[in-house]
Amino acid sequence: MPVEITWWGHATCTVTDSDVRVLTDPLFARRLAHLRRRRGALPPPGAWRADVALVSHLHADHLHVPSLARLAPGTRLLVPRGAPRAVPGLRRLAHLRVSEVAPGDETRIGEVVVRVVPARHDGRRLPLGPHHSPALGYVVEGEGRTYFAGDTGLFDEMVKEVGPVDVALLPVGGWGPYLGEGHLDAGRAAEALVRLAPRSAVPVHYGTYWPIGMDAVRPHEFHTPGDEFVRLAGERAPQVAVHRLGHGESVRLEVAR
């Protein structure tokens, strides 16, 4: 059975494996604070449907309470440990089955196991409060093994912590003209492919949101990361099939287990 990946924009994807729909970092807003969606239509209501939603860290473009509120009653929601304390709005989502998780935890949904892995990224809810939660990645294990990296930098234990994977959903850019610590750009994401050696990869977290009034500031950081990742991956990890999706596009990937 193939694994199907749909990219809705930014870090929001649907991974369908073994008839289980997994939604990553749901963000369905046209505008978020100083950011506006510059490319791609808003995901349709069908994108809100999931058996489980995964939140990688507490930054508002990854943990967006109004988007989470659109999920159907009974949807499982995995969030970093301590998130409800740091983000009080989560406590109002009584229609969801919220679980706090940390690296090493596993959650079964039907025929799929979601394994929580570390990420190297600031896990705070900026700019609010001192509360810390771990930034996370997730590996969705069913017919295939799909790694959703969330936001992360490269780290020495990446291969050991993530383990063998068939598909890697890797951030290759950001939402502004500069990337800070704890991020992958196209080059570092290509290096992650060298280390992880998946069969397939899909670039995410680029070309969707951009600060209002900054269209002319380093526009290549908005437009080019996807193509640059494809080019660099071809040079450094030619054995990996890279699928650069448009917003709302899907790819079905055969996996052999």
Residue 3 has pLDDT above 60, yes or no: yes
- Closest Cα to residue 7, out of 58, 55, 52, 41? 41
Residue 83 confidence (pLDDT): 94
Residue 254 confidence (pLDDT): 83
Type of residue at 112: V
Type of residue at 49: R
Residue 178 confidence (pLDDT): 83
* CB 24, CB 13: distance < 8 Å: yes
Residue 216 confidence (pLDDT): 82
Distance CA 74, CA 33 (A): 29
Characterize the bridge pairing of strands 12-17 and 250-253.
unpaired
Q: What are 157-207's pLDDT values in tens digits?
A: 999 999 999 999 999 999 988 887 788 999 999 999 999 999 999 999 999
The residue to which tokens 């009080």 are assigned:
88
| 3-class secondary-structure state, position 209 | strand
Q: What are 215-235's pLDDT values in tens digits?
A: 888 999 999 999 999 999 999
How far is residue 88 from each of residues 72, 173, 185, measured CA to CA in Å? 20, 29, 32
Distance CA 64, CA 77 (A): 12
Burial of 94 (0-12, 13-18, 19+ CB in 10 A): exposed
How far is residue 252 from each of residues 8, 126, 159, 208, measured CA to CA in Å? 15, 36, 25, 22
166: left (phi over 0), alpha (psi -120 to 50) or beta: alpha
138-146 mean pLDDT: 98
Q: What are 41-97's pLDDT values in tens digits?
A: 999 999 999 999 999 999 999 999 999 999 999 999 999 999 999 999 999 999 999
Type of residue at 257: R
Characterize the bridge pairing of strands 97-101 and 76-80.
parallel
Global pTM value: 0.95
Residue 237 confidence (pLDDT): 98
C-alpha 181 chain-centroid distance: 17
Beta bridge partners of 22: 15, 52
Characterize the bridge pairing of strands 12-17 and 3-9.
antiparallel
